[in-house]
Chains A and B, each alone.
Chain A
Amino acid sequence: MTADIFTEIHEFLLGFMSESATHITELILIAVAYLGIFAILGLFLVWLERRVAGFFQLRLGPNRVGPAGLFQTIADALKLVSKELTGTVKADKQLYKIAPYFVITTALMSMSLIPFSQEIQAFDINIGLFFIISVSSIGVLGVFLAGWASNNKYSLLGGMRTGIQMISYELSIGMSIVTMVVLAGTLQISEIVELQKNGWFIFTGHIPAIIAFMIFMIAGTAESNRTPFDLVEAESELGAGFHTEYSGMRFAYYFLAEFVNMFIIAAIAVVLFFGGWLSPFGITDAIPFAGLFWFGLKVMLVIFIFMWFRWTFPRLRIDQLLTLEWKYLLPINMVNIVFMALMVWLGLTF
């Protein structure tokens, strides 16, 4: 029953190709599919953000191009594609050109581990969560390189702030994930989801899980450089921060990657706390690909919370940002890990 389509495609390709050629073709097909998901997801999330922002601010948001303005971001992307790629004369040309691809590639790599449903997960390794965390920290490099290579003081300041912010908050995001790994006992994403068949971790882990979730949401907002932690591109201070000098499609890469990163953070939150693609109480377990619906729904709800943050809270100053991380989140996180370990040891989890 499960993965019928994928075995059919596999057999269809084997029909006229050698085994190794089939393997490579499949890899290319998956890569193209993920690039498609990446683009569509990015465009959809930009639309969603603008629409949600509209409602928060008593406006309507984009509502002219297509039904409910859905094609607005496609029109925007087409405009950006047609734009000239400018750059500064004294920029470090190679780094300047290569920097956006760091961000895009790392976002795509972490996306390959996201379980969209029971059947759809491109890359399921036994150190899944560890892989996501380590790969997404390479993404900092892209932003940092962009700030350095642009040869612009605002870009450089934005890039340096990214370094400070992302390295600090990676600690929190990593430790809140570790808290949940203590409960799950595995790093493999598909296994973590399977373990939640009898109850999502936010319920089975109760108090420490809820604390870990709150810390994860705060650190996740910081990690995807969103308001209230958007010091990287603080418009009032830094022009546009690290992407001041970028134009056209290179700028659009950063823009899309930012939103896809938000999706990845939300997806990890859903996998760790809300049971991934599992339906509530197993009501649609029999239907194939129903997981896709539940996963999408949960991720959209978590993304909505991120947007809610963005349109409610004012931006933090850099010292407040570091105070929050080092004086509040980190100590609470450390105590929380010990608390969770005690709960698991004493069997107080459900």
Chain B
Amino acid sequence: MSYFSEIYSGVKSLLTGMSVTGKYFFVNLFTRKDVITQQYPDNIDTLKMFDRFRGEVIMYHNENNEHKCDACTLCEKACPNGSIEIIGDKKVNPESGKSQRYLVKHIYHLEMCTMCGLCIEACPQDAIIWGQDFHHVQYDRSKLTKVLNKPGSKMMSKSKAK
């Protein structure tokens, strides 16, 4: 008798599968509700990427044009293919009177970056984060070399950062 019950359960499970896929088909045929395709060049202006999308590395700046980077170069060392170059300098902090490193330029080569995220994991200050911009098309690759700290920005004081 297991012969017939096998046929029955086989047909039943196949029909269950067909009903699942059939539902997808007809919903998408008539409403396009669940379609996940993004028609990319047409919707550059409206397309919003989800939060965890790895578009590019950016540096977080607050409203006073301050960032958290103290030019420790851990991200530069973590980068496996040398996409990050940090130019730092030293100056005397007027508050404590001690000599302290500060960031001059955080140079980021997007054209070499593999979006592995090791620099972001390495950063102790959470100064660099993922940006969601996906549209990096350029005619000149030198335009993909970016300076992440904005002109005129300075480091947040440590108490503010916490």
Write the residues of chain A forming the contact surface with B, with a CB cutoff of 8 angstroms.
Answer: 52, 54-60, 63, 308-309, 311-313, 328, 332
Is B1 on the interface with A (CB-CB < 8 A)? no
**Would you call A55 and B37 a contact (CB within 8 A)?**
no
A312/B34 contact (C-beta < 8 A), A52-B25, A55-B29 known: no
Q: A59-B36, A60-B35 are in contact. Are A313 and B17 (CB under 8 A)?
A: yes
A58 in contact with B34 (CB, 8 Å): yes
Bitwise interface map of B from 23 to 47 toward A, beta carbon under 8 Å scored 1, else 0? 0110011001011110100000000
20 contacts between A and B (CB under 8 A): A55-B25, A56-B21, A56-B24, A57-B24, A58-B36, A58-B37, A59-B36, A60-B32, A60-B35, A60-B37, A308-B21, A308-B22, A311-B21, A312-B17, A312-B20, A312-B21, A313-B14, A313-B17, A328-B7, A332-B7
| Nearest chain A residue, comparing its CB with the CB of B6 | A328
**Given A52-B25, A308-B25: A59 touches B18 (CB 8 Å cut-off):** no
Q: Which residue of B lies closest to A310 (CB)?
A: B21
Closest B residue to A64 using CB positions: B39
**Nearest chain B residue, comparing its CB with the CB of A55:** B28
Interface size on B, residues (CB 8 A): 17
What's the minimum C-beta distance from B99 to chain A, rounded to whole angstroms? 59
B14 / chain A contacts, CB cutoff of 8 Å: 312-313
**Most chain B C-beta atoms within 10 Å of own C-beta, residue among A56, A58, A59, A63:** A58
A312 touches B18 (CB 8 A): yes
Residues of B within 8 A of A (CB): 7, 14, 17-18, 20-22, 24-25, 28-29, 32, 34-37, 39
- Can you name 14 extra interface pairs (CB under 8 A) apart from A52-B25, A58-B36? A55-B24, A55-B25, A57-B24, A58-B24, A58-B28, A59-B35, A59-B37, A60-B32, A60-B37, A308-B18, A309-B18, A312-B18, A312-B20, A328-B7
Chain A residues, Cβ within 8 Å of B24: 55-58
- Minimum distance in angstroms from A92 CB to a CB of chain B: 41
Within the assembled complex, what's the spacing in Å between the Cα atoms of A328 and B37? 41
- Contact check, B25 vs A56: say whether CB atoms are below 8 A apart: yes
Residues of B close to A309: CB separation below 8 A: 18
Contacts of B29 in A (CB 8 A): 55
Q: Report the minimum CB–CB distance from B82 to chain A (whole Å).
A: 38
A217: min CB distance to chain B, Å: 11
CA distance A58 to B29 in the complex (A): 10
A227 to chain B, nearest CB (A): 12
Nearest chain B CB to A220's CB is how many angstroms away? 15
B20, chain A: closest CB distance, angstroms: 8
- What's the least CB distance linking A216 to chain B, in Å? 15
Of all chain B residues, the one with the shortest Cβ separation from A218 is B14
Report A-chain residues with C-beta under 8 Å of the C-beta of B37. Answer: 54, 58-60
Complex Cα distance A313/B37, Å? Answer: 23
- Which chain A residue has the least Cβ–Cβ distance from B7? A328
A53 to chain B: closest residue by CB: B25
Complex: A102 Cα to B14 Cα, angstroms: 34
Neighbouring B residues of A55 by C-beta, 8 Å: 24-25, 28-29
In the assembled complex, which residues on chain A have CB atoms less than 8 Å from the CB atom of B28?
Answer: 55-56, 58
Residues of B within 8 A of A308 (CB): 18, 21-22, 25
CA distance A59 to B14 in the complex (A): 23
Report Cα–Cα, A56/B24, bound state, in Å.
Answer: 6
Q: Which residue of B lies closest to A305 (CB)?
A: B18
Which of A58, A311, A328, A332 is the one whose CB lies under 8 Å from B35? A58
Min C-beta distance of B24 to chain A, whole Å: 6
Select from chain B the residue with minimum beta-carbon distance to A214: B11
User: Which residues of chain B are near A312, meaning CB under 8 Å?
Assistant: 14, 17-18, 20-21
Residue of A nearest to B26 (CB): A55
A317, chain B: closest CB distance, angstroms: 15
Distance to closest chain B CB from A214 (angstroms): 8
